[in-house]
Amino acid sequence: MLDSGVFDDDRYFDVFIEYAQASPGDVLVRITAHNRGDADAPLHLLPQMWFRNTWSWRDDSDRPRLAARGEGTIEAHHPKLGTRYLYADGAPTTLFCQNETNVRRLWNATDATGHFKDGINDRVVRGDESAVNAARTGTKAAAWYRQLVPAHGSVEIRLRLTSQSLPEPFAAFDTLLAQRAHEADEFYAELQREVPDADARLVQRQAFAGMLWSKQYYYFDVPQWLRGDPAQPAPAPQRSTAAMPTGITSTMPTSSRCRTSGNIPGTRPGIWPSTAFHSPCSTPSLPRSSSCC
C-alpha cells in the first residue's frame, strides 16, 4: 500500500473510535480524527445505526423504527428489544433510509419505490436529497458531521447510546470516559505484570482488543433455512439435503487505521452501530469492512 502513493506527504487521516460503558445499557462513543498532512482538509464522519432486516422474511413481521427526536437525537424502537436513544453531540444532520436492498439498482426493478440502504451514501457522495427520507424515519440512520480538520490537528465528536432518555447526555461524558480508560489501564497492568517490554505489552493489548471486538456468535435456524423464508422466493430443492451447525462462534482479528463497525459492548442483538468515513480530498481514509448484515 505504501508503494501506491496514497500516504505521500502524510496526506491521510487517522480515525480513532473509543467505546466505554457508563453503566449496563449506556455506552459512550468518542471519535477522534487526526489530519496528518500539512494542509487543512475536509472530512465527513457518519456514525450510523440500523436494525438488522428480519421483517422482509415474513409478511406478518413487525418492523422496528428509527426516528429523529430533536437535533442530533435518534430514537430506536424495536417490538422485542424496546427503546434506545442515540445522542450525537453538536447537532449534526440526521439522515434516514430503510435497511433494504436497492432492487432498482441491483435487479433493475424500475417500479420499486422507497429509500433504500444505499440512500445515505447517495445523499453524501452524489448529493441526491431524494435518496433519504425527508420525514426523518426509517430502519437505518446516520449522524452526518462535516468537519474541516486543521493541518496536523484533530477534531472530536461524541455520541451516547442509552436505554434512557437523558436531558443532558454529555454532562459527565469526559469524566466517565477517562475513568473507564483508567480502569482498563489498571486491568491490563495487572494482566501484563510479567511482560517487561512496553512494545510487547502494546501489541498484546491490541491483539486482545481485536479479538474482543470481532468475536461474534452466528445462529442458524436450520429448519427455517431448509424451508426458506415465507416472504421470499422458495429455495432450491438441493438445500434440503444440506446439513448445517446450529451455531458458530467466530473470531476474526484485524488491523486497520479506522475501525468502522461491529457490536457495541452492552447492547442487545438487533441494533447495529457503525461509523463510515468519506473524505473529498485525494487521499482516502481506511475503513474496516463491515462483518454485519
Domain layout of the chain by residue ranges: 2-169+257-278, 216-250
Most confident by average pLDDT, 50-64, 84-98, 233-247, 249-263: 84-98
**Strand stretches in the chain, DSSP E:** 13-23, 26-35, 41-51, 65-68, 73-78, 82-88, 93-97, 137-138, 140-149, 154-162, 216-219, 247-250, 271-278
Q: Give strand pairing partners of 75.
A: 67, 85
User: What's the confidence (pLDDT) of residue 281?
Assistant: 36
Tally of CB atoms within 10 A around 170: 16
Regarding predicted confidence, which is higher, 258 or 74? 74
Tally of CB atoms within 10 A around 246: 9
Q: Give strand pairing partners of 34.
A: 14, 154
pLDDT tens for each residue of 244-281: 555 544 444 443 333 333 333 343 334 444 544 444 33
243: left (phi over 0), alpha (psi -120 to 50) or beta: beta
For the chain, report the end-to-end CA distance as a whole number of angstroms.
28
Sign of dihedral through CA atoms 260, 262, 264, 269? positive
Regarding predicted confidence, which is higher, 5 or 212? 5
Task: Quote the CA–CA distance of 32 and 39 in Å, as a whole number.
Answer: 18
Q: What is the mean pLDDT of residues 182-209?
A: 94
Distances in Å between the Cα of 177 and the Cα atoms of 15, 34, 90, 139, 165 are 17, 19, 18, 29, 19
User: What's the confidence (pLDDT) of residue 210?
Assistant: 82
pLDDT tens for each residue of 243-253: 555 554 444 44
Taking alpha carbons only, the member of 139, 121, 112, 109 closest to residue 44 is 121
User: What's the confidence (pLDDT) of residue 245?
Assistant: 52
Regarding predicted confidence, which is higher, 146 or 220? 146
